């Protein structure tokens, strides 16, 4: 009998954890991981934080690959162009095809660019994004003391880079259409407090306004805002969110409206039915999570590739072994999204889904908003998220209370 083969598309954290998970679950066949970056899997969060303050090296950021995955075949610098879920093949950009018995989709997201006129969307023209190691190396080289940087977008990544750029002695302007930085995930009170802390460090915000044009021919020299303001810029960072890398799954009758819609076993849904032999992990997975009880959500947090990778590899290995698969796939699985962010000396830690909260049900739970504190995000009576500024032990102590009331009750009676 020929050995089974699993193809993992995407050599990031989700791809790595899925490969390790398959081995941990006893899958003995061939595992091939295809990644379009030249690098073995590495940690992305430091790219907008501490890694930007020194020389950026892959060795410092690379994940250690667990011993059980030492025989995984890494095909780095190669891209998957398309998949055919019926014939169970993927086609690479060089035109070659690979057949599979199991497929893991772990292709993450790409940075969005502003579709406006100006120099080409390249770091060499002063238009940076920050999604991968090469982006960070280019941005690091530009962050010299005295440089004028305009950060477009005031989400977490934009604000982290703004903070790091101030620490490195750059002049930083931050432009966003939102009324306050990070207001969408955090709500008004915390967003206003964080805005004040950034302003105290010298970041100048231009809020409630968009960008009309980048100035300069081959190289950005300035930014024109929709309120008429002109900002000098030696370079810009476009930190405007992301789009999912799912083009290679088009024409497969999957729901790709926001990532890949899956069932609770992380199998993609096709015409209302889960596709066997395929699982989706990490940033691109939009899955139902009974902890928050309604709908399916996609979450771009660091713990998601690990948690979904573990669930997906258990489901896929059971399918490939032909054992207890239906039972496992039908067992409800839940997870608690978490993220952290470092800005200056502030460590922000969160559990849950702040975006599910009722806007008027976001309250201080502990501490002092102007110092260290924990904020609670409620939907009706449910605590759907907590965010701490500092107070790590306290915010951690709320973990088990986060979720829908019915889910938490089922956990205590189980």
Residues forming contacts to ligand FAD in the complex (CB under 6 A) are 9-15, 34-37, 44-45, 47-48, 79-80, 106-108, 130-131, 157, 245, 248, 282-283, 300-302, 304-305, 339-341
Name the helix (H) or strand (E) containing 197.
helix 188-200
Q: Which is nearer to ligand FAD, 219 or 308 (CB)?
A: 308
Q: Which is nearer to ligand FAD, 80 or 223 (CB)?
A: 80
Shortest distance, CB of residue 81 to ligand FAD, whole angstroms? 7
Distance of alpha carbon 380 from alpha carbon 360, whole angstroms: 10
Name the helix (H) or strand (E) containing 344.
none
For residue 176, report the phi and psi dihedrals to the nearest 5 degrees: -155, 150
Q: Which is nearer to ligand FAD, 118 or 155 (CB)?
A: 155
Q: Which is nearer to ligand FAD, 105 or 231 (CB)?
A: 105
Contacts of 236 (CB under 8 A, 6+ apart): 126, 127, 128, 149, 150, 151, 152, 214, 220, 223
Shortest distance, CB of residue 306 to ligand FAD, whole angstroms? 9
Q: Nearest-CA neighbor of 340 among 66, 143, 50, 140? A: 50
Shortest distance, CB of residue 46 to ligand FAD, whole angstroms? 8
DSSP E strand boundaries for 77-229: 80-84, 89-92, 97-99, 102-105, 109-111, 127-128, 148-152, 171-176, 204-207, 211-215, 222-225
Shortest distance, CB of residue 204 to ligand FAD, whole angstroms? 22
DSSP E strand boundaries for 129-284: 148-152, 171-176, 204-207, 211-215, 222-225, 230-232, 235-238, 242-244, 260-261, 269-270, 273-274, 278-280
Which tokens hold the place of 23? Answer: 């081995």
Shortest distance, CB of residue 273 to ligand FAD, whole angstroms? 24
Shortest distance, CB of residue 51 to ligand FAD, whole angstroms? 9
Distance of alpha carbon 412 from alpha carbon 68, whole angstroms: 35
Q: Which is nearer to ligand FAD, 108 or 126 (CB)?
A: 108
Q: Which is nearer to ligand FAD, 125 or 259 (CB)?
A: 259
Q: Which is nearer to ligand FAD, 90 or 231 (CB)?
A: 90
Shortest distance, CB of residue 157 to ligand FAD, whole angstroms? 5
Q: Nearest-CA neighbor of 174 among 144, 194, 145? A: 194
Q: Which is nearer to ligand FAD, 182 or 231 (CB)?
A: 182
Shortest distance, CB of residue 26 to ligand FAD, whole angstroms? 23
Q: Nearest-CA neighbor of 338 among 373, 297, 385, 383? A: 385
């Amino acid at each position: 009998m020929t050995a089974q083969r699993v193809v993992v598309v995407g050599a990031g954290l989700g791809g790595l954890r899925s490969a390790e998970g398959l081995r941990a679950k006893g899958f003995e066949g061939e595992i091939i991981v295809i990644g379009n970056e030249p690098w073995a899997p590495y940690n992305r969060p430091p790219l907008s934080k501490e890694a930007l303050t020194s020389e950026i090296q892959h060795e410092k950021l690379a994940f250690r690959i667990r011993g059980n995955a030492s025989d995984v075949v890494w095909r780095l610098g190669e891209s998957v162009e398309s998949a055919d879920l019926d014939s169970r093949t993927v086609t690479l950009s060089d035109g070659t095809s690979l057949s599979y018995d199991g497929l893991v989709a772990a292709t993450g997201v790409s940075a969005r660019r502003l579709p406006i006129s100006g120099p080409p969307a390249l770091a060499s023209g002063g238009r940076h994004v920050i999604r991968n190691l090469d982006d960070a190396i280019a941005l690091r080289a530009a962050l010299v003391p005295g440089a004028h940087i305009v950060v477009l977008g005031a989400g977490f990544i934009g604000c982290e880079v703004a903070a790091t750029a101030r620490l490195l002695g750059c002049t930083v302007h931050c432009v966003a259409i939102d009324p306050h930085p990070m207001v969408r995930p955090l709500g008004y009170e915390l967003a206003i407090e964080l805005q004040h802390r950034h302003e105290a460090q010298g970041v100048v915000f231009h809020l409630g306004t968009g960008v009309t044009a980048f100035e300069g021919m081959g190289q950005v020299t300035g930014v024109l805002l929709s309120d008429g303001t002109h900002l000098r810029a030696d370079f810009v960072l476009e930190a405007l969110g992301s789009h999912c890398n799912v083009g290679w799954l088009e024409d497969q009758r999957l729901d790709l409206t926001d990532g890949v819609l899956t069932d609770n076993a992380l199998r993609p849904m096709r015409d209302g039915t889960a596709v066997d032999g395929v699982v989706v992990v990490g940033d691109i997975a939009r899955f139902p999570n009974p902890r928050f009880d309604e709908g399916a959500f996609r979450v771009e947090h660091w713990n998601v590739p690990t948690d979904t990778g573990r669930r997906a590899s258990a489901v896929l290995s059971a399918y490939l072994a032909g054992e207890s698969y239906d039972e496992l796939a039908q067992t409800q699985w839940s997870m608690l999204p978490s993220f952290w962010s470092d800005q200056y000396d502030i460590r922000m830690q969160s559990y849950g889904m702040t975006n599910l909260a009722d806007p008027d049900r976001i309250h201080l739970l502990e501490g002092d908003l102007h110092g260290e504190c924990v904020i609670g995000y409620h939907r009706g009576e449910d605590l759907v998220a907590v965010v701490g500024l500092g107070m790590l032990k306290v915010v951690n102590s709320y973990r088990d209370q986060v979720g829908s009331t019915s889910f938490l009750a089922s956990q205590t009676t189980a």
